[in-house]
A and B are shown apart, each in its own frame.
Chain A
Amino acid sequence: MVCADLSWLYSLSLLSLGVTLTVIGVAYALGQLLSNPQFNVWAKTEIYQVFISFFVVLLVLFMSDSFCHFKYSDLTGVAGGGATYSYPEISGNDNVMNASGKYLANVANFIKTSMRADRSIYGIAEEASRYSRTPCMPAATFCLYGTSGYSVRTFSGISSWIQIMGFSLYTDTVSYITVLVQMALLAFISGGGIMIYLPMAIVMRSLPMMRQLGGGLIAICIALFLIYPGLLVIESMFWNPYSIMGEGWNTLTTIAGAIDYSFEYVTAGDYAANMATSLELASLMAALDLAAAIAIALSTSLVTIVLAIVTAVGDYVDAAELSSWIQVSMQATSISFLSATFLFSLNIIAIGASAKELGRLLGQEVDLSRLMQVV
Chain B
Amino acid sequence: MRKIFLLTLLLLAALLPAAFSESYMTGCCPEQVLGPDATEMQISAYVSSHRDLCGDWPDGTIPYACMVEEEKRGGGGGCCLPLGSRDTDGTRRTYAEANRDVCGDWPEGGFITACPIERTGGDSLTPEAGAWAPAPDWIPLSIMAALAGFGVLLIFYLFTYLVDAEQMRPMVTSEMWQVFVTAAMIALFIGLQAFSSDVISPAFADAFMNETNVEGVTHVQYAMKITDSMATFAWETLDEFTNNVVMPMGNLASLSGNCWMFGVAFSFNGCASISIPFSAASFAARTMSTAILTLNSQLVLLKMASNFLFPVLLPFGLFLRSFHITRGTGGLLIAFAFAFYFVYPLSVLITQGFYDAVPIPGIREPSYPSIDQVSSDDTWDIESVLFSWGVPGDCDPFEGNYGYTQDQINYLMADSLMNPLLFIFMIGGIFNPAINLVITLSVLRTLTRVFGTEVDVSALSRIA
Q: Is the CB of A346 within 8 A of B380?
A: no
Q: Is the CB of B312 within 8 A of A164?
A: no
The contact of A167 among B290, B324, B456, B460, by CB within 8 Å, is B290
B-contact 0/1 string along A139-164, CB 8 Å cutoff: 11000011111111111111111011
> Which B residues between 326 and 348 are near A, CB-CB below 8 angstroms?
326-329, 332-333, 336
> Which A residues between 101 and 157 are near B, CB-CB below 8 angstroms?
129, 132-135, 137-140, 145-157
A-contact 0/1 string along B286-327, CB 8 Å cutoff: 100110110011011101100110011100100000001111
On chain A, which size bracket covers the interface? 35 or more
Q: Is the CB of B459 within 8 A of A373?
A: yes
- Determine whether A352 belongs to the interface, using a CB cutoff of 8 Å to chain B: yes
A-contact 0/1 string along B354-389, CB 8 Å cutoff: 000000000000000000011111111010011111
Using Cβ atoms and an 8 Å threshold, which residues of chain A touch B84? 247
B-contact 0/1 string along A311-335, CB 8 Å cutoff: 0000000011101110110110111
Q: Is the CB of B332 within 8 A of A349?
A: yes
**CB closest chain-A residue, reference B448:** A353
The contact of B329 among A244, A265, A337, A354, by CB within 8 Å, is A354
What is the minimal beta-carbon distance from B438 to any residue of chain A, in angstroms? Answer: 15
Tell me the dominant secondary structure on chain B's binding face.
Answer: helix
Using Cβ atoms and an 8 Å threshold, which residues of chain A touch B304? 239, 338, 342
- Determine whether B83 belongs to the interface, using a CB cutoff of 8 Å to chain A: yes
The contact of B246 among A132, A160, A333, by CB within 8 Å, is A160
What is the minimal beta-carbon distance from B80 to any residue of chain A, in angstroms? Answer: 17
- Determine whether A45 belongs to the interface, using a CB cutoff of 8 Å to chain B: no
With A140-B387, A246-B48 given, is the CB distance from A349 to B460 under 8 Å? yes
Q: Is the CB of A137 within 8 A of B385?
A: yes
A146 CA to B375 CA, complexed, in Å: 22
- Determine whether B7 belongs to the interface, using a CB cutoff of 8 Å to chain A: no
Q: Is the CB of B301 within 8 A of A342?
A: yes
Q: Is the CB of A81 within 8 A of B376?
A: no
**CB closest chain-A residue, reference B281:** A160
> Which A residues between 159 and 192 are near B, CB-CB below 8 angstroms?
159-161, 163-164, 167-168, 171
With A147-B258, A335-B300 given, is the CB distance from A157 to B249 under 8 Å? yes
Using Cβ atoms and an 8 Å threshold, which residues of chain B touch A132? 254
Q: Is the CB of A151 within 8 A of B258?
A: yes
Q: Is the CB of A246 within 8 A of B44?
A: yes
Q: Is the CB of B388 within 8 A of A137?
A: yes
The contact of A331 among B243, B296, B398, by CB within 8 Å, is B296
- Determine whether A270 belongs to the interface, using a CB cutoff of 8 Å to chain B: yes
Using Cβ atoms and an 8 Å threshold, which residues of chain B touch A146? 260-261, 265
Interface stretch (choices B87-95, B169-177, B418-426): B87-95
> Which B residues between 244 and 272 are near A, CB-CB below 8 angstroms?
246-251, 253-261, 265, 267
Using Cβ atoms and an 8 Å threshold, which residues of chain B touch A254? 88
A157 CA to B245 CA, complexed, in Å: 9
A-contact 0/1 string along B428-457, CB 8 Å cutoff: 000000000000000000001000110111
A206 CA to B387 CA, complexed, in Å: 99
With A270-B379, A342-B460 given, is the CB distance from A361 to B137 under 8 Å? no
Q: Is the CB of B247 within 8 A of A138?
A: no
A129 CA to B332 CA, complexed, in Å: 50
The contact of A349 among B92, B300, B301, B455, by CB within 8 Å, is B455
Q: Is the CB of B300 within 8 A of A334?
A: yes
Using Cβ atoms and an 8 Å threshold, which residues of chain A touch B374? 133, 150, 152, 154
With A146-B265, A156-B250, A160-B285 given, is the CB distance from A350 to B332 under 8 Å? yes
Using Cβ atoms and an 8 Å threshold, which residues of chain A touch B242? 157, 160-161, 323
With A138-B385, A330-B293 given, is the CB distance from A150 to B256 under 8 Å? yes
Using Cβ atoms and an 8 Å threshold, which residues of chain B touch A158? 247, 250
With A79-B141, A137-B389, A327-B235 given, is the CB distance from A321 to B90 under 8 Å? yes
With A138-B385, A152-B374, A330-B293 given, is the CB distance from A157 to B333 under 8 Å? no
Q: Is the CB of B41 within 8 A of A328?
A: yes
Q: Is the CB of B387 within 8 A of A138?
A: yes
Q: Is the CB of A152 within 8 A of B251?
A: yes
Q: Is the CB of A154 within 8 A of B293?
A: no
Q: Which of B282, B289, B301, B313 is packed against the most chain A CB atoms within 10 Å?
A: B289
5 smallest beta-carbon distances between A and B, as pairs:
A157-B250, A157-B247, A146-B260, A334-B296, A357-B328
25 contacts between A and B (CB under 8 A): A129-B250, A139-B387, A148-B258, A153-B254, A154-B374, A157-B247, A160-B281, A163-B285, A167-B293, A238-B307, A244-B300, A247-B44, A254-B88, A324-B91, A327-B41, A330-B289, A331-B296, A334-B299, A335-B296, A350-B332, A354-B329, A357-B327, A361-B324, A361-B325, A372-B459
Q: Residues on B close to A: CB < 8 A?
A: 40-41, 43-45, 47-48, 51, 83-84, 88-92, 137, 141, 144, 235, 239, 242-243, 246-251, 253-261, 265, 267, 278, 281-283, 285-286, 289-290, 292-293, 296-297, 299-301, 303-304, 307-308, 311-313, 316, 324-329, 332-333, 336, 373-380, 382, 385-389, 391, 393, 397-398, 448, 452-453, 455-460, 463
